[in-house]
Every structure is written in structure tokens, then in C-alpha cells.
Structure 1
């Protein structure tokens, strides 16, 4: 019998997808509640919606999945939960595929259809959305997001709070000089990244070029 109990932080579209992932991996009873501090409804898909304070009072020992797409917001929420003493779930869809040499930190979420090959390191609260592929010797920093259909080739190092849009492609680096996606980079949907990026910038196009500095 699976006694897993998880609170899904967030009540938007991705939160509902994460709830489905949890049901697939751990059973329909594993999703105890959604968490929404500005809740406008008492339940979602038949599951209670609670505020953070209500969860802290009624389920102080529950694991939390921070299902928020925006990296900076996810970081703030995760720190809030950590400060309150919550532990975080590692969520892997049963239809994701990976080798035994993939290291997955707490709070990471890996969705249906994604393939992770060998010698990969995912830091805290990384989101790998639907149908992504990640090649050998890739590192992904905390709070980064790969949107659906992102393809990351081998020897790529992705920094913290990076957001990579749907269908983007990152070409490979090499062992001595990995391709680096710097902290807080945003990669536009469908872009093809052929060289390392600068921190805090938006890149888009084929090939991806610098569009904006933050």
C-alpha cells in the first residue's frame, strides 16, 4: 500500500498536471491538497485547496511539490516552505526514462515522456516538462525550467533560475568546454542555442541571439 501524501503548491494548469503525475506514480489518494494563498475556490478536481497556513496547521509533516513554472517565484515559495520545516517530494512520472547515473535533488519534477541518459545532475526544484530529452554530462541548476519538448545535447551546463521555452534546442558542448546557459537566462520557444549565453538575458531565434538584457 502506498502511503505517500503530497501537497501541490499552486492551483494553475501545471499544478493540475503535477497532480496527475502524482496520481500516476503514487495513486489517486496521494494528492492531499493544492496550496493557494489567494484561493478563490475550496476545491480543485475534487481535491481541497488550502492556504499555506492551513496546510501548516493541518498537515505539518506532508511533503510539498512546488508546481510553479516561473523560476523566481518557485524559489521564493520553496524557501518559504523550507523555513516552515516542510520536506519536498521528488516526482518522476512512470513514463519518464533515465539511467541509474542520473542524480535528482529534492523538489525536482520530471514529466511524462522525458528521456534522461547518463551522468546527469539535477539540482533542487528543477522542472523537466513533457517529452524533453537530456544528453550525457548535463548539469541543471536549481529552480530552472525546461518547457515541453526541449532537447538538451551532451556536455551542457544550465545555471540557476533558467527558463527554456517550448521546443527549444541546445546543441552540445564538449568535455573540456561545456556549453553554458548562464543563471537567469531565458530561451525563447523554438530557439536553437549554439553557444554559451550571458546571465540575465533573453535569447531567441534560429540560431538563438541576444534579444534583451534584464
Structure 2
């Protein structure tokens, strides 16, 4: 996430950002070491955002869609906006409609007439085909492919190198395993894997 912010700033895109630091309710020791190595402060748990200075925006760098949704609800309660972060090396169709908190990593491709909800994460080199709808807090992991006219409901996770074929629906909070090929609709809450995905 920090790399995207820095790439946007270096490219002169958007308003420019000044990173104040990181919040985390239960930071793991390796993450704290990384934050210090990046010369940025750990600000404390999420509740520290109550005291954020005016104009502060919060980007959610949380991979698990369900956890991201829960934290987003907490951050929303503090009235803090979520910026849209699109890496300069990503391609997003000009008619894409996107919600707050969208994060698009380098190499990701979004084609035409796509709707993306709040806090959607599109990871490195994934693709989202025409006329698709991705609801809030969907994660599409690296190299995954969402074909045209697909619907991914809230909280869906599509694993690395997985594919969802044309016109299919993946239900709320479902998980498509890494490398899976989805050939039929996936019910809410299901975990599917394999080729074809079951």
C-alpha cells in the first residue's frame, strides 16, 4: 500500500499524500520492524484515529475482505474518508465507477463499464472484464482473472491465478481458492477450489 502511495506521489498523480504512519490493533513483531525500517511511526490501535488531524484520510491495507469490512465500519464511524489509490502502472477504464477506498496495484487491468464497490482491492496483474460488478470489500489477488459480466458480492476473495468465467456470480463472503477455475455460480459463504472449482 505504501508503495502505491509513493508511486502516485512520484508520478505527480492526484493530490499528493503525506503518510502520517500506521495503525494496527495487534501488530505482529515483523510488521513493527518493517514500519520502523520504512522510517514511519506506529501510531497505535485503530481507535487512535479518533484523534486524527483534520483532512486525514485512511487507506486500509488489510488483505482479508471480512476483516477489512469490519475495520472499515469502525473507521467510517470516525468520519474519515478513504482515498482511491491507483498505481500509475495500472489501467482502469475511463468509465469505471468506483467507491471510496479502492486500491489498484501495479499491473492490474480494469476494462470497460465496470462497477467497483468501497474498499475493493485489485492486486498485482489481475484483470476485471467488461460489465462486471464487484461489491464492497472484494479482494482479487495477483494474476486472477474476472471475466466479463461477472458479479462478485460483498466480501468475496478470489485467490492468486484463479479465474471466474463469463457471466457468473460469486456469493457474499465466498472464497475462490488459488488456481481455481469457476465454471458455475458460487453460493454465499462457500469455499471452492480446483479445476473446475467445486
Could you state the TM-score of these two structures normalised by the residue count of structure 2? 0.89
Distance in structure 1 (CA, Å) of the matches to 2:47 and 2:189: 33
Structure 1 runs (4+) greater than 6 angstroms displaced:
none
Distance in structure 2 (CA, Å) of the matches to 1:59 and 1:191: 44
CA shift, 1:29, in A, is 6.0
Distance in structure 2 (CA, Å) of the matches to 1:181 and 1:34: 32
Distance in structure 1 (CA, Å) of the matches to 2:137 and 2:197: 22
Pick from 17, 27, 50 the counterpart of residue 43 of structure 2. 50
Going from structure 1 to structure 2, the CA distance change for 1:180 and 1:29 (only over 3 Å counts) comes to closer
Distance in structure 2 (CA, Å) of the matches to 1:66 and 1:29: 15
Distance in structure 2 (CA, Å) of the matches to 1:58 and 1:107: 18
More strand by share: 1
Q: Does 1:151 align with 2:145?
A: yes
Checking the alignment, whether the CA contact within 8 Å between 2:49 and 2:78 is kept in structure 1 is no
Aligned to 2:26: 38
**SS state of the match for residue 50, structure 1?**
strand
Checking the alignment, whether the CA contact within 8 Å between 2:5 and 2:17 is kept in structure 1 is no
Q: Does 1:21 align with 2:15?
A: no
Structure 1: 5+ residue stretches without partners: 1-17, 174-178, 210-214
Q: Does 1:183 align with 2:172?
A: yes
Pick from 77, 84, 103 the counterpart of residue 78 of structure 2. 84
Checking the alignment, whether the CA contact within 8 Å between 1:23 and 1:31 is kept in structure 2 is no
| 1:173-208 CA distance string (max 9 Å, x none) | 2xxxxx111111100000000111111100000010
**SS state of the match for residue 42, structure 2?**
strand
Pick from 88, 96, 99 the counterpart of residue 94 of structure 1. 88
Distance in structure 1 (CA, Å) of the matches to 2:89 and 2:124: 10
Checking the alignment, whether the CA contact within 8 Å between 1:37 and 1:50 is kept in structure 2 is no
Q: Does 1:106 align with 2:100?
A: yes
Q: Size of the alignment, in residue pairs?
A: 187
Could you state the TM-score of these two structures normalised by the residue count of structure 1? 0.82
**SS state of the match for residue 31, structure 1?**
coil
